[in-house]
Every structure is written in structure tokens, then in C-alpha cells.
Structure 1
């Protein structure tokens, strides 16, 4: 494996490393470049155009009129941040093509503080953790089972957080059900407070082109701006863009299937750390993945195995890896591995289901082991006739 690093001065260093396992804890975003669609007239705009992923160091937007294009988590975070403090912008307008679901959430968990006070730090934290897992999963499950009721509940709290005359039905009425895409959380309702105070506003429309003074919308209205922030999305990059190969043959990621949501079929000893996209924290699944892989390596060491490779059944049905319809996911669907339609190839979206599964058998016949000296190669059938239970599960 070759690792290439670049320092602050642009100097490139290349290292050759050997390892028995690779743990890809890179997420699935490309961090050096964000997604920006083509906008006509970019060269005509007299102000600055900034993408959040290339934000200039110490950039001064104080006293300026800012248009933030986008309605995702980045835009929802930028709007209150740029309207707060002594260096605040004169006004921030969030220009969205379509609305998103946004809900206020307390910045401080009051119940957690009470539990810690009553039961101590360790037990209080454990109870808080269980409470949060249960609440997250219950909320997501309910709004997916009853999407109309979920939309009504979110709308109720949105109206409550905004002035009575705010046009909620235009600016907070997404064309999809909640959790078809991620729901944005506003700590202590800071997003809604900025709108209520008049420091920020929302416009729901499409960009026709950029002009010298701002953006011309499809409706014919022009938004004046000194700064345009293109919070227009992300690129996805699996395993940090590492070029994978097995025995000299490049790995075609769309042809691979995930085993238990963490191993890539046909790729020996390669783990991907993928968290939950809907309910629960991302790190909950990563914790389970780490525990499972530790148990698997211990088992292999005990039996003299060096290679583990997942082998799917021929002609197995598959589906997209991620269960989201967000633009950045749809744009990259053909570049990602896939998942199966049944276990162990199906990627679970519930922490409780995953914890229960990973407390069971450590592996099955689809995961095959061998030693490097084996003449059967990396696809040799595992030696254990009966899979052993994992020590993993809930952390």
C-alpha cells in the first residue's frame, strides 16, 4: 500500500506501508472539493463567490449582504452563524430550490444533566446513551410509518418557532417525506431565531443566472448580494479515493457488495466504517464495526488464518448502499458498492438490530478464510465447521 501525503507547502511525500488489514475510516465524502453546479454569469458577479469547503482563512463578511444557495445542513448552520456576533453580516438570505425539514433541538440535554446528578457520571452517561438511542429510532420509525402525521408534527413546531405571518407552507414544505433525506437540527432554534429577528430571510426559487449585483431568479426577481455562498452539496468518495486492487486487478466498487455493512466482497481484509444515515449517531455503528473486526481478527489468529474474504452468491439481488434520496447520494450512486436484499449482505439501519446480530455468530459460510501459504488462495473455505459467537454487541 502506498500513502501519499502533502504538507502545507505542497511538498508531496510517498510512503510504502505493509499491513495485514486496512480499516477505511474515511466516511464517504470528498473533503478537498465540494459540489457546485454550473451557474450562468459567474464571471459577471462583482462580489465574492465562496464554497464552504474552500472557505478562505479569516474571511471578512461583516456588514455585507450574503446570499447562501442551498437548504441542507451547511446552509442551515451558516445562516445563524453569519448573523451572530460583532462581525455579523448585514443580512443573510438563504436561497433554496426546495425546502428541507428543520427542527429545533436543545443545545444542552437537561435530562442528561439530571441523570448524571442522580446516578453519577458513568451510570448517568449510560442511561443518557440508551435514552438517545431509543428516542432517535422511535422518532424516525414513527415518521416513516406515518409520514403525513410526521409532516404535520414538524410543521407544528416550525410554525411555533417563527412569527405568525411567516409563510411556512412555501418555505418549509418539502416535496418528500421526512427522512427520505436527512432532517436538519437547529441547536436551541438558532436558525429560526435569526429569521424571526429579521437578520436573515428565506427565498424559495431557482437561480436563472448570476448578475453583476447578485442573482437573477427564475421568477424575475433579483437578489442583491456582496457575497454568494454556494452551499450546494458534496461529492462522495468511497474509501477516501484509494485505488484498490486484488492480485493486480483493480477493484470495481459498484460490483462489490458489503458483508454485514463493513466488509467488501472480493476484497480481502478490507473494512469500511459506515455509520447510520437516519436514526442514531454515526459512531454507534462504527463502534460495533470496530468490536466485530477485533473479534474476527482474534478468531483468525487463534486458527492460523491470515485472509478473510466475503464471497456473495452468484446472481444475488442487490440494491443501492445508501437509503437516502439526497442529491449528493443520487449523483454518486453508480460509484459506490451495493448491498444485498437479505442478511448478511443487507446493511441494517437500526442500532438495536445490528447489536443483536453482532452478538450472534461471528461469521457464516459466505466469509471464507485462508492462510497465505494455502494453495487454495484467498477464497478457501473456512476451517471452522460451526461459527463461533461474537463478543461484540452493545458497547
Structure 2
């Protein structure tokens, strides 16, 4: 077997790609692996995003890998610390030398007679190919090349600086200047308190409010237990504590939304005082119809209360030379505008797939266990949860792939593919979220069905039962040898 022909080829060397490689190293040390990374460094999202204050939007006890404890002091931590954690994990499991950097995957062709994928990629402007028995796509679900920015009227007339967080300019000087952050999601609530430390003033301009909840930056239970227990025990206990807490909070939000909204408003009121206009933190949708924003130690609220930041709920009518004219007719003065307006979705890294010469339309496919495609052999992909940590689901996906490969090896199979035998099965969107970035791009993703194993349940506890302990031979998975 050549260095370009491996048992498992992994697309992406970010949080999930490095995790996948480590799972294979631990569970299947005899399998040859290779990672193809389009960028020039490890880290994916955590190396790409360099905007002020970039941090985790999940606690590190669940965002960290199941097999490697997070030992940092902060539970919600900065992007550089997360990047260091990914790099250290890759070094510990000797993954770096198995990564081909600057190699962007463009296509993958499956040949049933050979039971192999031929993967096309571009490196330094030249097309290169690799072959593998199993393809694992860990490229996330958004386009790394650019973020989403609406077509703002009059943008060309604005005399200040405009920057998108995904393409942050490290030379941008906003100290002592008026800053407007357009957006209300996780990126916006991170940027505002970070920029407010040196800007003259930061205004978060939102078309509609989102739910924001303050969480401690340091987990006090982890600090207490860390004095008497080994770090691995502490990590496991706090991980499960946080999983259960978030699962209960999500279920309560869906079953008793009025109660949860009242509790969230009470939390904002406690941080901002009785005289603050709560309409800026009172969304029109129910909790978890969109992803909730978490702020460590209430830093966003502290910036607002200090007067260094403020929130305006309005629409952008147009840019002017000196700022933004709002739908209400008011104008916001600005020297710098940050368009924290979201992502562009890109399913499975934009790879074009073929199975025995027939193109695969990912948007018309049905997702099996939210990790494989109906009728597509020896292919899996990692997509995290929307209501919990990304890594929780990716760990389960990689664990399942190892079990699947073990099952095939033990029985002499070379091919596995999910098969939906019900052509009348109703189709549902893969992600049931109302966020703008989801609505813009969800039509490009595979659908889900109304029942297992075609249903994405967004429930870690149920997925543990199905992916870690459930049979891989479940009636929907078809196994064959080469050429059959």
C-alpha cells in the first residue's frame, strides 16, 4: 500500500478531524490513515477565526475530546487555548506527520469492483489523487472561504472600515473609535465586550434579539474536585454533570418555554438592573428555536451596564458616509462596522461524489444516523449538535465508525452502505432551526426521516444508546464483499 493509498482517509484537520484520527489510532492502531487539510495549519475553525475575544460557545468539558481531559482553568475559554489543546492532542497521538496541508478535496469517486474511493484534491494548483477503503469527512458545515454578508444599500459610500469576523484584519485599529457590530448571535455577543475594552463605544445592532444566558467562566465543581481527585476523574464527572444539565435545560425549554423565558428574563434583569429595556433581550421565537448564546461571567451585560456598550434593535436602511441609517430614521455614527451576519453553509466540504459513475446529489439524499448517506458506500461525515457541544456528537460518530470497521473486518466485508427501503418515507430538513444561516443553506443538505435510523434526534443520551451500544447490523445497513 502506497502512502497515497490508505485504509481511512479523513478530510479536515480541525477539532473533529484530529479527533477522528485519534479515535482510529486508539481503537484501530493497525489501520493506515491520512488527513487532507485545505489550509496550512491544524485547528480548522479555531485557527481560522481571529476576531477579538474569540472563544468557545460550549463548555470545554463537553467540547473537549472524551479520551483526553481538558485541564485548563476556564470552562468557557479563548480560541487560542482551544487551538493549543487541539495541537497538543495531535502531537500526543502522533498525527501531524499524517496530515497533507494545503490540499483541498474537490471530488470522490467510488468503485464497487475495487471497493475503493478515489479522492481528487488540489495542492499548489495541481490536481492530486488519493485512494482509500473508507472516507470520513470532518470538514464542518460552513464555507471556510467567506462568511455571509447581506447586500447593504450604500455600503460603498461608508468612509470607515468594514470587516467580517471570518476575514478579520489583524491590523484593524479600533481603539478610541465608534464601533457598530451588526448581528446578535454568538460571534456578536463575543465581539462586543472584547472590543469595548478599548473602543470609544460599541453598539450591537440587531434586527431581532436572541436569548443570552450568563454562565460561570470557571466551573466551581471542577475546581473543588480537582483538589482531591485525579484530573481524568474530574473531567469525566464534570463532563457528565454538564451533559445532564444541558439536556435537562433543553428539554425544559421545549416543554415549558414560558417558564424558561421568564427565568432568562430574570437573569438579564439581575445583570442590567430594573430600569433596562428588556425588549433588546426578548426574542420573538421560543428558546432553542435558534441556538442560545452563552456569555462567561456575564461579560456582555457588564459592558452594557458600564456604558461602554449598548444594544439597538432596528433594521439597516442604508450605510451613510459616517455610519448607518436605521429603519426608524435614526443614524448610528460609526468609524468601524463589523458585519457579524453569519456563515455560508457548505455540506460535506462541497465535495462532488460519484458512486460507480453516477453523481450523488447530497441535497436529495437521506441521512442515516446523521452521519452517512443513503446508498453511498464506505462514507461517513461528522456533524455536531446544535443544542449541545459539537464534539459530543463527533466523538460518538467516530466511535461508531470504528465499530463499523471492526464489524466488517471480522466478517470479511469490504463494503457497507445504508439502504432506505421505504420510498414513501416523509422527508424533513436535517436541522430544525429558524436561524438565518440555517434557512439560507439547509436546502443543500441531506434530509432526515421521521424515525430511526434516519432521524437526527439532537439527544446525546439517546445517541449513546444507538451509536455506542446499538448493533451496527440494524437491517438498514447493507454489507457486501468487493464486486457484489
Whether TM exceeds 0.5 here: the answer is yes
Q: CA deviation at 1:211?
A: 0.5
Is residue 2:404 matched to residue 1:296? yes
Count of aligned pairs = 364
Is residue 2:129 matched to residue 1:20? no
Match of 1:220 in 2: 329
Q: CA deviation at 1:199?
A: 0.6
Q: Which moved more, 1:145-154 or 1:53-62?
A: 53-62
* Equivalent residue in structure 2 for 1:173, among 259, 275, 282: 282
| C-alpha distance in structure 1 between counterparts of 2:127 and 2:189, whole Å | 39
| C-alpha distance in structure 2 between counterparts of 1:219 and 1:128, whole Å | 47
Is residue 2:234 matched to residue 1:124? yes
| C-alpha distance in structure 2 between counterparts of 1:323 and 1:255, whole Å | 17
Is residue 2:282 matched to residue 1:202? no
1:219-238 maps to which residues of 2 (within 5 A)? 219-238=328-347
* Equivalent residue in structure 2 for 1:72, among 185, 202, 210: 185
Match of 2:121 in 1: 3
Q: Which moved more, 1:110-119 or 1:17-26?
A: 110-119
Is this contact kept in 2: 1:116–1:125, CA < 8 A?
A: no
Match of 1:386 in 2: none
Is this contact kept in 2: 1:118–1:124, CA < 8 A?
A: no
Q: Which moved more, 1:217-226 or 1:256-265?
A: 256-265
Match of 2:42 in 1: none
* Equivalent residue in structure 2 for 1:306, among 414, 427, 444: 414
Is this contact kept in 1: 2:345–2:442, CA < 8 A?
A: no
Q: CA deviation at 1:122?
A: 2.0
TM-score of the two chains, using structure 2 as the length reference: 0.74
Q: CA deviation at 1:48?
A: 1.0
Q: CA deviation at 1:57?
A: 2.3
Is residue 2:274 matched to residue 1:274? no
TM-score of the two chains, using structure 1 as the length reference: 0.90
1:26-175 maps to which residues of 2 (within 5 A)? 26-84=139-197, 88-168=198-278, 170-175=279-284
Match of 2:72 in 1: none
Larger radius of gyration: 1
| C-alpha distance in structure 2 between counterparts of 1:4 and 1:57, whole Å | 28
* Equivalent residue in structure 2 for 1:325, among 409, 422, 434: 434
Secondary structure, counterpart of 2:344 in structure 1 = strand
Q: CA deviation at 1:54?
A: 1.2
Secondary structure, counterpart of 2:395 in structure 1 = helix
| C-alpha distance in structure 1 between counterparts of 2:126 and 2:234, whole Å | 46
Is residue 2:386 matched to residue 1:249? no
| C-alpha distance in structure 1 between counterparts of 2:473 and 2:184, whole Å | 42
Q: CA deviation at 1:245?
A: 1.4
